[in-house]
């Protein structure tokens, strides 16, 4: 007896719908492209999806409207890139059922967004807003912040990744008294230290009696991440005294001028740190965006005073402490027995001696970053790798590190991220270390390593070892040419990010090789690259732009090029691929100016293939009917470029 094959049409629609509710938006659209049954179900499934996350592409309000249906009472989590949206999208984005809301790149929104969130989303637990009112002509009023804080009474985590000095009002600090009592995490893109001190003042508000001193209005905060004008003793003292539950503190400043005593951090300020002994994560960073400046009023004594209360520390990031020597850093390592993440930048007096006896400690370091520590040599790394659990190692701009350090690093079996920018490693060093490194590395950066040549590609990729490398930075290497990229294409390594900025000998041949690259005939079709940085590459001409169009580079989301090559071609490419972020001014791709985090990220690529395929289908569905017109514009720009040449 033979049975006839059963099709998907025989499955109950309710069963298919239930399965699809477990998928994200892009996966739903990907499934819809496979058969009529799934397509029919997908047209209705968006009305009850619990999560809607669309971050890799920025859609317009017209494209967003059919995806994000207002009558979805089950939607609890929404994450959207709002780069192409404005206030007209507020009605589509906000609904009462939301518990988590993340809106990035909100530069074209006014402060109305804040007040509407407070009105429409009363049950929010987590809110993240990026770059609100960043464009000229946009504004935010203090009353709109008041409506946000008073309306979202259940808020537990708040991230405002923009300059809150936009709220030019003398009552700004007092407004925070309206914040949810459940608020435990607060991150702000930029705020003055004086305002922070006022916000946390125990006397803020009207006390019940002349002798009454109120606790800090944000006393429940456990995680605080702030970018300020100056890190000062007064601010650090107020934070340490007022936030009794604080476990995570991240403070960054970027002074316009050298700070005077009253606007600086000193040993006395560090002594006030962690008064309740609960801190597990500490980050104190002085950036040099505007002038060369350090924490000049902090020395070993300040670190010693702080170390007495740091027994529970798990993560420490110190940047700009130019007067702290080996004594201070060594004391910190020996005092923090639970430390697993150590980051030091601009440690101008940090030497190999800090790590001389690190193997005798109980430390189990997994993340180490030692940037701009120019006194370190290979011996420091040789001692450091006694921590065999290291997964992230950032040694950027440690110029005295060479092949000896690389050979030591190759003994780390779990290493995922290795950053060696500006070091003295060579092609031979990479060759000798390949067998130990290449089986585990996901991210490798050798930017500005002047001794490297085209042979470094052969050193890395020749051989039978299975590779998991997905991100490679070869930027600012003067000896790199198109031949290196040809070798890379021949290796068929499925890279997701490739950076080659300011490589003068990289040109059209490299672009054509990458565009034609076939990774796996059974799974991949075309280049796997999602990010390609060619800014400042001397050999890029109009010919490359023909290969940057679809169908080539189908998964590309970020592209860096030099706008002066031909601005018309750059603009035409951006119009023909509206979901491609084209950067032509030289800015680093995917660099967020408001990023206050101190974490070193390791990406999980286990399911990235399906993720990329899903976004390909989603982009194709969104652009139906628009592609032909954009291709014509691109062709016109190419013809004009040929005439000019």
Q: Which of 32-36, 151-155, 602-606 has the lowest mean pLDDT?
A: 602-606
Decide if 620 contacts 563 (C-beta within 8 A).
Answer: no
User: What is the pLDDT at residue 360?
Assistant: 84
Give the number of other Cβ atoms within 10 Å of residue 320's Cβ.
25
Residue 558 has pLDDT above 60, yes or no: yes
Q: Where are the alpha helices (DSSP H) in 346-445?
A: 378-384, 403-409, 427-437
Contact 340, 369 (CB under 8 A): no
Calpha distance 570→561 (Å, rounded) = 8
Please determine, for residue 267, whether its predicted confidence score (pLDDT) is greater than 80.
yes
> Quick check: 25 pLDDT over 60?
yes
pLDDT band for 639, please (50, 70, 90 cuts).
low
Please say whether the beta carbons of 498 and 464 come within 8 A: no
The pLDDT of residue 208 is 47
Give per-residue pLDDT as tens, 486-535. 999 988 888 999 999 999 999 999 999 999 887 655 544 567 899 999 99
The predicted model scores a pTM of 0.87
The predicted pLDDT at position 346 comes to 95
Query: Which of residues 149 and 598 earns the better pLDDT score?
Result: 149
The 8-class DSSP code of residue 310 comes to -
Q: Which of 537, 538, 543 is nearest to 515 (CA)?
A: 543
Domain-by-domain residue ranges, the chain? 9-45
119-165 tens-digit pLDDT? 999 999 999 999 999 998 898 899 999 999 999 999 999 999 999 88
pLDDT recorded at residue 22: 67
Confidence at residue 89, expressed as pLDDT on a 0 to 100 scale: 96
- Burial letters for 177-204: b for 16+ Cβ neighbours within 10 Å, e otherwise? bbbbeebbbbbbbbbebbbbbbbbbbeb
């Amino acid at each position: 007896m033979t049975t006839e094959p059963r099709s998907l049409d025989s499955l109950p629609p309710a069963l298919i719908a239930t399965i699809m509710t477990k998928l994200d938006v892009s996966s739903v659209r990907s499934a819809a492209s496979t058969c009529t049954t799934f397509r029919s179900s997908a047209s209705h499934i968006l009305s009850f999806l619990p999560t809607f996350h669309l971050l890799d592409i920025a859609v317009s309000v017209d494209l967003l409207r059919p995806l994000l249906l207002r009558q979805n009472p089950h939607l609890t989590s929404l994450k959207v890139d709002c780069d192409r949206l404005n206030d007209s999208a507020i009605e589509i984005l906000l609904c009462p059922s939301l518990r988590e809301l993340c809106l990035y790149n909100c530069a074209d929104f006014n402060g109305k967004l804040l007040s509407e969130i407070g009105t429409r989303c009363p049950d929010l637990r987590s809110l993240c807003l990026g770059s609100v009112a960043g464009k000229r002509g946009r504004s935010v009023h203090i009353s709109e912040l008041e409506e946000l804080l008073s309306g979202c009474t259940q808020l537990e985590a708040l991230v405002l990744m923009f300059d809150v000095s936009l709220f030019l009002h003398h009552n700004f600090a007092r407004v925070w008294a309206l914040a949810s009592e459940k608020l435990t995490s607060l991150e702000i893109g930029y705020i003055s230290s004086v305002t922070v001190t006022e916000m946390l003042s125990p006397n803020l508000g009207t006390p019940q009696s002349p002798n009454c001193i109120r606790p800090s209005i944000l006393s429940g905060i456990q995680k605080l991440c702030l970018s300020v004008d100056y890190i000062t003793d007064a601010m650090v003292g107020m934070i340490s005294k007022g936030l009794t539950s604080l476990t995570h503190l991240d403070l960054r400043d970027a002074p316009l001028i050298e700070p005077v005593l009253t606007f600086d951090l000193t040993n006395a300020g560090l002594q006030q740190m962690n008064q309740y002994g609960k801190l597990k994560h500490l980050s104190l960073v002085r950036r040099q965006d505007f002038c060369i400046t350090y924490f000049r009023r902090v020395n070993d004594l300040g670190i010693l005073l702080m170390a007495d209360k740091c027994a529970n520390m798990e993560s420490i990031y110190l940047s700009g402490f130019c007067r702290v020597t080996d004594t201070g850093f060594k004391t910190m390592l020996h005092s923090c027995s639970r430390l697993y993440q150590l980051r030091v930048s601009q440690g101008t007096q940090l030497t190999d001696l800090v790590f001389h006896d690190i193997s005798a400690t109980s430390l189990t370091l997994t993340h180490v970053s030692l940037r701009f520590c120019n006194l370190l040599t290979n011996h420091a790394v040789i001692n450091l790798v006694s921590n065999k659990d290291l997964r992230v190692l950032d040694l950027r701009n440690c110029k005295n590190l060479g092949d000896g350090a690389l050979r030591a690093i190759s003994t780390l079996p779990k290493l995922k991220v290795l950053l060696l920018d500006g070091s003295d490693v060579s092609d031979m060093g990479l060759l000798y270390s390949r067998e130990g490194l290449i089986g585990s590395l996901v991210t490798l950066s050798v930017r500005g390593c002047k001794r490297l040549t085209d042979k470094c590609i052969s050193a890395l990729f020749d051989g039978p070892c299975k590779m998991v490398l997905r991100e490679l930075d070869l930027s600012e290497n003067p000896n790199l040419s198109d031949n290196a990229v040809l070798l890379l294409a021949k290796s068929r390594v499925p890279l997701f990010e490739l950076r080659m900025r300011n490589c003068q000998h990289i040109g059209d041949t490299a672009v054509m090789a990458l565009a034609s690259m076939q990774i796996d005939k059974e799974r991949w079709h075309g280049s796997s690259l999602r990010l390609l940085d060619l800014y400042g590459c001397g050999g890029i001409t109009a010919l490359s732009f023909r290969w940057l169009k679809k169908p080539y580079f189908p998964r590309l989301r970020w592209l860096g090029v030099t706008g002066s090559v031909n601005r018309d071609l750059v603009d035409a490419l951006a119009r023909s691929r509206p979901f491609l972020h084209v950067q032509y001014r030289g800015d680093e791709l995917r660099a967020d100016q408001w990023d206050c985090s101190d974490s070193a990220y390791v990406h999980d690529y286990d399911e990235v293939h399906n993720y990329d395929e899903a976004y390909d289908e989603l982009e194709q569905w969104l652009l139906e009917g628009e592609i032909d017109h954009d291709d014509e514009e691109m062709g016109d720009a190419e013809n004009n470029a040929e005439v000019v040449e």
